[in-house]
Structure 1
């Protein structure tokens, strides 16, 4: 379990690995495996006004979200800093929001504060649903009837008003599955299934299990950010890779919109998300989250998630200052680091 290897990890509650993390990574890249991510927090938002209500509170265009559809959303501070990130999955009667372990309470508190007289009833649904992830090229074959995930292009800084379609910027197809829901996502298929059925569903799927360490290595290599890992208290969406999937740049007013619009139209976010290759000569231990990325002895960013990848070696997602060149000679702790510009 994660907590047996790192008692302070925010990912406690799920298996880190099943004896061979590198083999599990290869499984997730070449075939398919099931990963227990049931430590994610889950909220339920039933109520006839849920779509329009969430549309006004978040960065995503949700007013037309229909049953069988899912997307991503952010909640921002008044100054445009990322406070929450969640997937929202609509089943026709309820919008289900799943977010990072420990983040659900803050998201639920915000939603309850913003209810006013709206016909919605947000609640903690962590005891109802658990998240499992089928990862790999064979994932979609296990759940028929799901279309390919779609993430739109981010428009240029000076795009014309009305040129961005009035729909979610990312769209993931959803269908019923084993008493819950299956959602097609870029890394495979997420399953939101009744928590008490988790063990039975894993056994019925009949595919090998992989731990969270393997999942995180695949995520890092694919450059997908994670709230609380690739974000800090002043992160704006354009800095951490959330813009394409989670932010509609031409919708009505929401909290933090002014910052998003200003930074996008100037085309100059202060920082950017990068993939780092670490040499691993001085240390073969991935650096801890929050470790400084340095250039000539001066901090220019921080490490989010660092992992050992079965092909790429030691790699990390990091957020660095925008003006750090792709060929800069960086250091992270005792390791030399280089930006992967691909």
Structure 2
């Protein structure tokens, strides 16, 4: 925010820059590795103690026991109904785990984790007041060695893809550098900067969900294609596992994340929460929207699973109506990997 031209972001991203005067140009530079982004408003937690990895393994959707120093992972904490309550970007350091989480969500996560310690040898500390995050599509040499590498959109061990093989996220590597705040200025140096508008534009174009945007109180991982990177389907028990297994094996997620190519003639963007309609019927809502330097106005939304992918939808935000073409992320037939039982055949009696 001390850089000339910085305009502060709003909402959950308040405290860092939305842009520095040219958001679309900044996004191109960020994508091409010529700029970095200040994400120091994200929260950082630290887990120490000899039981740290096995303990997190029992709580989360991800297999963490085999992770080695320098490894990056992503994990979720679910409710008993399988709904997403927390998302954690996990970085393994020598004697600790670092968790990068959404702005403002650190205290609630720390409180939950502390409530689950019992007699295990772990300690959870909130480092958010002393540590921040710098983001880029390449390593920042001056930012140190604590670097979380985004596994998206790969399919990690134990994961499952609910979208097609070709994925636009493969074009955007994403690295988060954890750094002490007092060293932030020195690490940034003379680097070109990009604001949160650029970060969000690249994220949406990569079809990657964000906990603070695509989630509501009913979201399950399948709906967002998060079985790719955040769920290990063959690990031991954890809260919410029944729902994860049931939907994946014999059901379908009730909703699906979708990429929307918006009509550019409006010269505005719909707000998060704007209704997505098929004709007069509301079928979902916009969760994130941005202006991309090549694709123009784009958005992510969550819609009902059975909406025909070939239909042109309408995004309605007040008096503004945006025609929106769908690009399928989670396919309508995702799930039901094991098929459904249709009954049992009786052997006819012998004649």
TM-score (structure 1 length as normaliser): 0.84
Q: Is the 8 A contact 2:27 2:199 kept in 1?
A: yes
- Decide whether aligned partners of structure 1 residues 3 and 34 sit closer, same or farther in structure 2, where only a CA change above 3 A counts: closer
For 1:147 and 1:82, locate their aligned partners in 2 and report how far apart those are by CA, in whole Å: 22
- Decide whether aligned partners of structure 1 residues 58 and 3 sit closer, same or farther in structure 2, where only a CA change above 3 A counts: farther
Give the one of 213, 219, 232 matched to 2:197: 213
State the partner residue of 2:106. Answer: 104
Task: Tell me the CA shift for residue 286 of structure 1.
Answer: 1.2
Q: Is the 8 A contact 2:161 2:228 kept in 1?
A: no
For 1:20 and 1:229, locate their aligned partners in 2 and report how far apart those are by CA, in whole Å: 24
C-alpha distance after superposition, 1:60-81 (max 9, x if no partner): 0011122111100000011000
Give the one of 284, 288, 300 matched to 1:317: 300
After superposition, where does 1:125-136 map in structure 2 within 5 Å?
A: 125-135=127-137
Give the one of 223, 226, 231 matched to 1:242: 226
Give the one of 189, 194, 201 matched to 2:187: 201
Greater alpha carbon shift after TM alignment, 20-29 vs 218-227? 20-29
Give the one of 8, 12, 15 matched to 2:14: 12
Task: Tell me the CA shift for residue 102 of structure 1.
Answer: 1.4
After superposition, where does 1:1-342 map in structure 2 within 5 Å?
A: 7=10, 9-135=11-137, 139-140=138-139, 142=141, 151-152=154-155, 154-155=159-160, 187-203=173-189, 206-281=190-265, 283-333=266-316, 334-341=321-328
**Partner-residue secondary structure (3-state), 1:238:** helix
State the partner residue of 2:333. Answer: none
For 1:216 and 1:291, locate their aligned partners in 2 and report how far apart those are by CA, in whole Å: 17
Q: Is the 8 A contact 1:3 1:13 kept in 2?
A: no
For 2:302 and 2:150, locate their aligned partners in 1 and report how far apart those are by CA, in whole Å: 26
Q: Which runs of 4+ in 1 moved over 2 A?
A: 1-7, 29-32, 140-157, 185-189
Task: Tell me the CA shift for residue 5 of structure 1.
Answer: 6.0
Structure 2, gaps ≥5 residues long: 163-170, 330-351
**Partner-residue secondary structure (3-state), 2:228:** helix
For 1:261 and 1:193, locate their aligned partners in 2 and report how far apart those are by CA, in whole Å: 38
Q: Is the 8 A contact 2:148 2:176 kept in 1?
A: no
Q: Is the 8 A contact 2:72 2:148 kept in 1?
A: no
For 1:107 and 1:148, locate their aligned partners in 2 and report how far apart those are by CA, in whole Å: 22
Structure 1, gaps ≥5 residues long: 158-184
- Decide whether aligned partners of structure 1 residues 61 and 307 sit closer, same or farther in structure 2, where only a CA change above 3 A counts: same
For 1:141 and 1:56, locate their aligned partners in 2 and report how far apart those are by CA, in whole Å: 34
Q: Is the 8 A contact 1:85 1:99 kept in 2?
A: yes
Greater alpha carbon shift after TM alignment, 229-238 vs 139-148? 139-148
- Decide whether aligned partners of structure 1 residues 85 and 313 sit closer, same or farther in structure 2, where only a CA change above 3 A counts: same
- How many positions carry a matched residue from both structures? 308
Task: Tell me the CA shift for residue 32 of structure 1.
Answer: 2.5
For 1:257 and 1:304, locate their aligned partners in 2 and report how far apart those are by CA, in whole Å: 26
Bigger CA radius of gyration: 2
For 2:8 and 2:93, locate their aligned partners in 1 and report how far apart those are by CA, in whole Å: 37
Q: Is the 8 A contact 2:91 2:148 kept in 1?
A: no
